[in-house]
Amino acid sequence: MNDFNVPATQAFSGTYVISRDQSSLQSPEHRRARALRERVDDLRHARQRIVAAADAERSRIERDLHDGAQQRMVAVAVTLGLAEAQFATNPDDAVRLIAQAREEAQLAVKELRELARGIHPAVLSDRGLGAALEALAARAPVPVDVSGVPQDPLDPAIEACAYFVTAEALTNVAKYANATAASVQVSVEDECLRVEVRDDGVGGADPTCGTGLRGLRDRVDALDGRLDIDAPPGGGTTITVEMPLERRAIALAPAYRIVNPVPPTRR
């Protein structure tokens, strides 16, 4: 028993009810502030994952250059050296070696192009989002209908995000969906760019598995956008992204700080 002659369990229960009621009576300003804090935390975590992914991507690029194009160019140099040594005494072998070196150089150029496409597609910079999405559709293993792409250029970060979302979605169509057709619908609604990639495959996509979809969610979050995945088993997969065309500024803690800054030189 307590001072109010109420059983302890009831006293604790009453305290809980009062606390819950106080929480439910928070002002709209408090609720907005809490939502903003949660959003800032989400963005901060997304930024950390993006930085980690960028570091991993740089390591991959370095490894691909070392193991691929660099090795081929070394082989080209060695082959040309052998051709030069035999040019005077055995011109037929020299011609064969030069042809071999040319083939190796062409393969190196192809590998560099593939690597560059993964970093940033040249067609997106040169010809815009519409042409870039059409290029993705042309490489897909199933017919892909692309529609609604705005004619006017958008923020480069928005266009890049739309491109990579579509690329990842169509890659998943090729790998897992067992689909016969897909579509990419782009539209501008309420000052937002909306991209919807739909297929008629097996569905069942799990956004928590694999790094591809998780990386896309981080990229969209960094632009203050939203990514939704609807993939009922047997009902195909629909990936929808909405990104504000005018990004709202949200104050984040700085990613680094300057220790002992050098004072400006007086003139």
What distance in Å separates the CA atoms of residue 101 and residue 99, rounded to the nearest whole number?
5
Task: Answer with the residue of higher pLDDT: 211 or 141.
Answer: 141
Q: Does 265 have pLDDT greater than 70? A: no
> Does a structural domain hold residue 240?
yes
Q: Does 62 have pLDDT greater than 60? A: yes
What distance in Å separates the CA atoms of residue 34 and residue 117, rounded to the nearest whole number?
41
- Total length of the chain: 267
| Judgement on whether residues 165 and 74 belong to the same structural domain of the protein | no
> Does a structural domain hold residue 91?
yes
> Does a structural domain hold residue 222?
yes
Q: Are 243 and 193 in contact (CB under 8 A)?
A: yes
What mean pLDDT do residues 20-37 have?
A: 70
> Does a structural domain hold residue 17?
no
Q: Where are the beta strands (DSSP E) in the chain?
A: 144-147, 182-189, 192-199, 226-230, 237-244
End residue of a domain, out of 119, 139, 173: 119
Mean pLDDT of the chain: 78
> Does a structural domain hold residue 159?
yes
Placement of tokens 């991993």 in the chain: 56
> What are the Cα distances from residue 4, in Å, to 1, 10, 20, 121, 160?
8, 11, 21, 73, 66
What mean pLDDT do residues 258-266 have?
A: 39
> Does a structural domain hold residue 191?
yes
Q: Are 149 and 133 in contact (CB under 8 A)?
A: yes
Q: Are 94 and 86 in contact (CB under 8 A)?
A: yes
Tokens of 64: 């691909």
| Judgement on whether residues 108 and 186 belong to the same structural domain of the protein | no
Q: Does 88 have pLDDT greater than 70? A: yes
Placement of tokens 């956004």 in the chain: 207
* Residue 50's pLDDT band (cuts 50, 70, 90): low
Environment class of residue 134 by beta-carbon count within 10 Å: exposed (0-12), middle (13-18) or buried (19+)? middle
| Judgement on whether residues 97 and 195 belong to the same structural domain of the protein | no
In the chain, DSSP finds a helix count (H) and a strand count (E) of 8, 5
* Residue 184's pLDDT band (cuts 50, 70, 90): very high
What distance in Å separates the CA atoms of residue 249 and residue 223, rounded to the nearest whole number?
10
What distance in Å separates the CA atoms of residue 77 and residue 86, rounded to the nearest whole number?
14
Q: Does 102 have pLDDT greater than 80? A: yes
pLDDT recorded at residue 13: 43
pLDDT recorded at residue 158: 92
Any idea what the Cα angle at residue 194 is, between residues 191 and 200, rounded to 5°?
165
Q: Are 229 and 207 in contact (CB under 8 A)?
A: yes
| Judgement on whether residues 97 and 143 belong to the same structural domain of the protein | no
> Does a structural domain hold residue 172?
yes
What distance in Å separates the CA atoms of residue 22 and residue 54, rounded to the nearest whole number?
44
Write the pLDDT tens digit of every residue in 188-197: 988 999 999 9
| Judgement on whether residues 150 and 206 belong to the same structural domain of the protein | yes
Look up the domain containing 130 and give its range.
126-244
Q: How many domains does the chain have?
A: 2
